[in-house]
Chains A and B, each alone.
Chain A
Amino acid sequence: MIAGITATSLAFICLIISIVSYYLHYRNRTKESLLLGRYAFYCSTGLIFFQAALLMWGILTHQFHWQYVFSYSSRDLSTFYLISTFWGGQEGTFLLWLVLGAIYGIILIRKKFDEEPLIMSFMSLVLAFITMILIKKSPFTYVWDLNPARFEAGMVPIDGNGLNPLLQDPWMIIHPPVLFTGYSATMILFAFAMTALVTRKHDGWIRTVFPFAIFVVLALGTGIILGGYWAYTTLGWGGYWGWDPVENSSFIPWMSSIAFLHGAIIQRRHGGLKRTNIFLALLTFVLVLYGSFLTRSGILSDFSVHSFSESILTDYLTAFVVLFIALSLIAYIYGTKNIMTVRVSEKFFTRETFMLFGILALLLSSIFTFFGTSAPLITGIFADKPSDVSIEYYKMLNAPVAILIGLFIAISPILSWRRENQAKILKYHYHLLITIIIGILAFMFGLRDPLPLIIFILFVFVIAVNGEIVFRMIKRRNLDFGGYFSHVGIGFMLIGIITSSSYATNTRITLPLNSPQQVLTYEMNYRGFRTGADGKDEAVIQVTGDGKTPWEAAPKFYWSEFNQAFMRNPSVHNLWLKDLYISPIQVIPPEPDNTGDPVTLTKSNPVYFETYRLIFDGYEMRDHSHTANTIEVFAVVQVSEGGTLSTIRPGIKVSGQQKQLIPAYLPGTERALMIQDINIDEDKITILVDNIIDQEEDRREMLAVEVTEKPLINVLWLGTIVMISGISISLINRSRFKPF
């Protein structure tokens, strides 16, 4: 698509012009160079928006001869999911990154900061590099340019490959753009910190960058949490967080951005931490780059469940990361030379001291999660075969971090800035008392293990201290309570994480068809499969719990043509104090039992079997258009016994290379009828009818499921909402955030 590719190249040229003229303006302050820089940036923004609009148009109007549209979308997707294919692949996410970067650039220009020339020069530099990636790998390439063997030039493929069904989820429409909003916004931190280094003005930038720092924390945090909801409700592995490289690469910069935000608070107050804050701002941006390099380059393809494969971009991405790390380092070393340092505090029991400890804990968590995620890279240097760390590493590592952070966000709000105020500290003994009482109650309710109990008690105290401060501030109509409010949210989140993971009860069981089983405290009855409203197959399980009204759980288990795999979605039932989480594991078809009686039926000729009169009426086919590879064939058999006539349909289901017999049952009995042989030429089928004696349960179809009870998971969700609201309140209040 020539227009798209041209727009990418022109945008690149405009960005280069913008970098150069903005820099010239910084040097010589001529009006022309400033205007040229601005207009070049406006032009590149226009071109970036044009590309985005073009790609969106291509997706919505099914331009399947474009490689990107062909690879990630298809005709059967609804408009919502079509829109989300925009970020279904690499090129789209880079374009999204550019669009957001351009928007931030425009906002920065409109703010008319004194340092606009250098800030915008660095913004353009980052955008130029991302544009270069898009030139190398364009979403507008034609399919026949990429794969001439398979596609004839000029022919539009009838349909595309479609979107991974795992991504066809409402959460997935918003999770990636929100996360990328955060990733992209870290370039603002980079541009500001670099400007501070070049101009050697190490203080002024903190005030202007502050709202953007809050914005980064907000966007990354929201994106991570939305991803957690998605993992919990869609991926069947039972959790919201799995320490997967992709997840880690968003967690790592989030931690460092929070560290930076708190460092900025101290610097605004005191003037200290000049070098630390510049370092943290640069680090956050570099970690985002590194994360996107690690997860896209194919280095982890042996280590992650997410499918990474070697990409032609590996070299580009490596160069991109190395270059920006080098640039940041050099600027940092030269720019912080002979810096005028300011001591943060002389005293120990002050708020800034404990905030510093908190920053340290956040940074350690970020850095060591980074080392774990990079284990295959690091060990690859020292050994011939790279190794990876298991999930246990992150759990071992972040448990002490949680304790430290809990300790510091509980203590530091109690303390005063600069001076040691003992009277104020002593006022909090009520909070301690309440916390201890709640801790004892929790112990009596079964929270017995030391580590979870410590974390629980600590975060109850966090909520008590920070909650009371929020309460007092609202009473005084002081709206600057967002930070404390988000601490309350963190408290609820940690409590929810502890109770729902450490105290989850879990069991794996096979449920025979139509035979209620006792599972944990519930009675579960597997009723067979049906096609759900979204066209995916789901198992139906009737659940009765604690004498309450029964409900129907419908975990999905379906064949995906796109993934060439069976997919599972759990069923999550929310019960106020806990979630009941049912993941399907496997369908175990009844084993063909050759002890039954074979009966051969010829079409339209009645055959008598015991007291039944059977007539074979012909075949019925069902194929599901959404799972084109699945075909079901049923034999229609009329059964009459004692004057009652009914029709039953034993069948065969073929999905992929798998064949599965679908039994039918003689009316009013549990005796299964299964197809043994089909002879199409002679219109004959042979069916096998179960013997009456042979009615053991294990002869039925079985559904293996994993059932988990997750106590107090609602507390975690509540915590996420409180935390996000807290950060949003800070953003609105502290910055009086007006983008234009």
Chain B
Amino acid sequence: MKAKYIIGAVIIISFIVWAGISFNKTLTPYVTFEQAKASETTVQVKGKRIDTGKFDMQHNVFVFTMMDEAGEKIEVVYDGAKPGNFEQATEIVCVGQYADGKFHAKELLVKCPSKYMEESSNL
């Protein structure tokens, strides 16, 4: 009977610890490119696109230039498909890491000022 409570407590405590570690490790703070360069972990940078980007056929990645809120311009390499509404984007959020003069994005969130998109998706 004791064993039940001990095991239960072990599960709960180790889970809380594990969740805390996971949370801290995967938390991606909002930063500028300046801060991203210094950071070793995954971060998010918000900014505006400068060009329409192009598909790099050598490495099969999508490359574009972004200016962050502090006005710094950096080339972003995205390991995925060019977002379908990239041309219309007013604001872009890149999730990833800075390395070798480029920002390597794992995720791109694109925001558009579309007249149709007011609260359209809520499923």
- Which residues on A are within 8 Å of B, measured CB to CB? 71-72, 87-90, 93, 161-162, 164, 167, 175-176, 179, 236, 246, 295-296, 301-309, 311, 345-348, 353, 356-357, 360-361, 364, 368, 371-372, 375, 379, 383, 385-390, 392-393, 396-397, 400, 404, 508-510, 560, 562-568, 583-586, 588, 656-658, 698, 702, 704, 706
Contact = CB atoms under 8 A, between A and B. Distances in A.
Contacts of B87: 656-658
Given A306-B121, A566-B84, A586-B55, A348 B1 contact: yes
A364 B12 contact: yes
A563 B85 contact: yes
B122 A565 contact: no
Contacts of B82: 585-586
Contacts of B8: 356-357, 360
Nearest to A90: B122
For chain B, the bracket of interface size reads 35 or more
B121 A307 contact: yes
A501 to B, nearest CB: 16
Contacts of A404: 11
B88 A93 contact: no
A306 B119 CA distance: 10
B64 interface: no
Given A383-B29, A396-B26, 13 more contacts: A71-B116, A87-B123, A89-B119, A164-B120, A364-B15, A364-B19, A368-B19, A387-B27, A390-B106, A397-B18, A564-B88, A565-B84, A585-B80
A335 to B, nearest CB: 25
A583 B57 contact: no
Nearest to A702: B57
9 contacts: A71-B118, A93-B123, A162-B116, A357-B11, A364-B11, A364-B15, A393-B22, A565-B88, A568-B84
B35 to A, nearest CB: 11
B63 to A, nearest CB: 12
A311 B81 contact: no
Nearest to B114: A564
Contacts of B28: 387-390
Contacts of A347: 1
Nearest to A298: B119
Contacts of B29: 383, 385, 387
A586 B81 contact: yes
Nearest to A361: B11
A337 to B, nearest CB: 23
B88 A396 contact: no
Q: Which 7 A-B residue pairings sit nearest by Cβ, starting from the closest?
A: A565-B85, A565-B84, A566-B84, A393-B26, A585-B81, A508-B60, A396-B22
Interface of B: 1, 3-4, 7-8, 11-12, 15, 18-19, 22-23, 25-30, 42, 44, 46, 55, 57, 60, 62, 80-85, 87-88, 93, 95, 106-107, 109, 111-112, 114, 116-123
B95 A386 contact: no
Contacts of A385: 29-30
B119 A567 contact: no
Nearest to B108: A305
Contacts, number: 168
Contact of B15 (A179, A356, A368, A560): A368
A89 B122 contact: yes
Contacts of A567: 84
Contact of A568 (B22, B81, B93): B81
Nearest to A246: B123
B1 A510 contact: no
A93 B42 CA distance: 36
A375 B112 contact: no
A368 B87 CA distance: 37
Contacts of B3: 348
A565 B112 contact: yes
B114 A390 contact: no
Contacts of A706: 81
Nearest to B18: A400
Which one of A179, A246, A302, A361 has the greatest number of beta carbons of chain B within 10 Å? A302
A87 B7 CA distance: 45
A347 B4 CA distance: 8
A346 B29 CA distance: 48
B116 A704 contact: no
Contacts of A702: 57
A400 B15 contact: yes
A122 B115 CA distance: 40
B119 to A, nearest CB: 6
Given A308-B121, A309-B117, A361-B11, A379 B1 contact: no
A307 B120 contact: yes
A121 to B, nearest CB: 29
Contacts of A509: 60
A702 B60 CA distance: 12
A93 B122 contact: yes
Contacts of A345: 1, 4
Contact of B62 (A167, A392, A560, A586): A586
Given A311-B119, A361-B11, A564-B88, A388 B19 contact: no
Which one of B106, B117, B119 has the greatest number of beta carbons of chain A within 10 Å? B119
A175 B123 CA distance: 9
B109 to A, nearest CB: 6
Nearest to B61: A508
A666 B26 CA distance: 55
Contacts of A566: 84-85
A164 B121 contact: yes
B83 A565 contact: yes
Contacts of B26: 389-390, 392-393, 396
A309 B118 contact: yes
A396 to B, nearest CB: 4
Contacts of A88: 120
B84 A563 contact: yes
Contacts of B55: 510, 585-586, 588, 704
A716 to B, nearest CB: 22
Contact of A360 (B11, B83, B117): B11
Nearest to A385: B30
A562 B121 CA distance: 12
Nearest to A401: B15
B30 A387 contact: yes
Nearest to A353: B4
Contacts of B44: 387-388
A390 B23 contact: no
Nearest to B15: A364
A385 B93 CA distance: 14
A161 B22 contact: no
Contact of A704 (B12, B19, B27, B60): B60
Given A390-B95, A509-B60, A371 B114 contact: no
A375 B84 CA distance: 27
B47 to A, nearest CB: 13
A702 B89 CA distance: 25
Contacts of A309: 117-119
B116 A564 contact: yes
A390 B1 contact: no
Given A236-B81, A364-B12, A562-B116, A510 B30 contact: no
Contacts of A164: 120-121
Nearest to B116: A161
A510 B27 contact: no
Nearest to B58: A510
Contacts of B109: 302-305
A101 to B, nearest CB: 18
A347 to B, nearest CB: 7
A346 B1 contact: yes
B23 A389 contact: yes
Contacts of B112: 564-565
